[in-house]
Amino acid sequence: MKEYSSATSYKIDQPSVVTIGTFDGVHVGHKAILKRLVDSAAKEGMVSVLLTFFPHPRMVLQQGSDIKLINTISEKKELLSRTGLDHLVVHPFTAEFSRMTAVEYVRDILVHALGAKKVIIGYDHRFGRNRTASINDLREFGSLYEFEVEEISAQEISEVTVSSTKIRKAIEEGDITTANQYLGYPFMLSGVVVKGKRIGRTIDYPTANLLIKETYKLIPGNGVYIVFSEINGSLVYGITSIGTNPTVGGKNKTIETYFLDFNEDLYDRSLRIEFIARIREEETFETMADLKDAIQKDETFARNYLKNFG
């Protein structure tokens, strides 16, 4: 899969099948649509193109919008690269871009820049300034500019929407099992390991504190989870605490992972943790000894879980 940072930097002079959308989560429902795109392109001897926008239109159009997404843009790129898609165009969504009329958008972006000969699109897709144009308008533009429009049914769109809603809700509630089932892969957090309060090591549970720079990334609800990471090419399991660490008087939400059977400096390293299951809620303990006992129990729980399901 090749990536382009705007429609104008896409310079492939070949007829294409194009799909447009956010595809947040790249979940099972999205994959069915992407398979259709890729299969259709292969059948017609064309290239497959996904046109997506970044930042998310709502981040740009609704000032102060607190939209949270299942994937960061780089996670999405990686997930999409596994689908067989030929070209991913991440077009910058700006206030100026949002003011393009429907005809300008279709002519300049879809037809001239991307070479669309076929557009596969949801029955309810809307586009152009103030989202005034519909799939019927797109069909009319199609006869003018010689591309075909293939509609994704209401049922398929509703499956996609239901999945996205369920995944978001499940992640917020810490229900990783449900989220992973709809995603078709383990939910992940990616960031850099930063210094914390250095308390972890004093109770023999050093924790790598993950800083996620993308403030729009959806973070699972507070609690303790079983996770895994790839560190130096090896699979390492861990237990992650997400929360404010009330026992040590913390205020900010942190994401801290103790890796099992591991002892290495991780500061400043890029790290991705992938979620397997939830163990428990975050609690406030009376003493550090009680906290340490609880973490020991979490560790035992995780080791048993991994022995049975790993």
Ligand X SMILES: Cc1cc2nc3c(=O)[nH]c(=O)nc-3n(C[C@H](O)[C@H](O)[C@H](O)COP(=O)(O)O)c2cc1C
Query: Which residues are near ligand ADP by CB under 6 A?
Result: 193, 195-198, 200-201, 206-209, 257-259, 262-267
Determine the straight-line distance between the first and last CA of the chain, rounded to whole angstroms: 31
State whether residue 85 is helix, strand or coil: coil
- When CB distances are held under 5 to 8 angstroms depending on the partner's kind, the choice from ligand X, ligand ADP, none that residue 282 binds is ligand X
Q: Which does 239 bind (CB under 5 to 8 A by kind): ligand X, ligand ADP, none?
A: ligand X
C-alpha 181/C-alpha 187 separation (Å) is 10
Residue 152 partner contact from ligand X, ligand ADP, none using kind-dependent CB cut-offs of 5 to 8 Å: none
Contact with ligand X (CB under 6 A) among 256, 273, 275, 277: 256
DSSP state of 105: I
- Six-digit token string for 144: 């003018």
What minimum distance in Å lies between the beta carbon of 168 and ligand ADP? Answer: 29
Nearest approach, Cβ of 170 to ligand X (angstroms)? 21
Residue with smaller CB distance to ligand ADP, 121 or 210:
210
- DSSP structure class, residue 5: S
Compare residues 98 and 222 and give the one whose CB is closer to ligand X: 222
Rounded Cα gap, residues 109 and 100, in angstroms: 10
- Per CB under 6 A, contacts with ligand X among 258-297 are 258, 282-284, 291, 294-295
DSSP string, 177-211: HHHHHHHTS--EEEEEEE---S-GGGGT---EEEE
Quick one: 80 or 295, whose CB is closer to ligand ADP? 295
Rounded to whole angstroms, the Cα distance separating 75 from 69 reads 11
266 near 193, Cβ under 8 Å? Answer: yes
| Nearest to ligand X of 44, 282 (CB atom) | 282
Task: Give me the count of residues in the chain.
Answer: 310
Residue 224 binds which one of ligand ADP, ligand X, none, with CB within 5 to 8 A depending on kind? ligand X
User: How far from 34 is each of 18, 42, 54, 185, CA to CA, in Å?
Assistant: 10, 12, 19, 16
- 262 touches, from ligand X, ligand ADP, none (C-beta below 5 to 8 Å by class): ligand ADP
Q: Which does 248 bind (CB under 5 to 8 A by kind): ligand X, ligand ADP, none?
A: ligand X
Provide the minimum distance between the beta carbon of 209 and ligand ADP in the complex, in angstroms, as a whole number: 5
Task: Give 153's contacts (C-beta < 8 A, 6+ positions apart).
Answer: 123
x-or-dash string of contact with ligand X, 226-255, rule CB under 6 A: -------------x-x---xxxx-------
Closest to ligand X by CB, 73 vs 203, is 203
Tell me how far CA of residue 239 lies from CA of 194, 201, 229, 255, in angstroms: 17, 15, 11, 10
Interface positions with ligand X (CB under 6 A): 196-200, 205, 207, 209, 224, 239, 241, 245-248, 256, 258, 282-284, 291, 294-295, 298
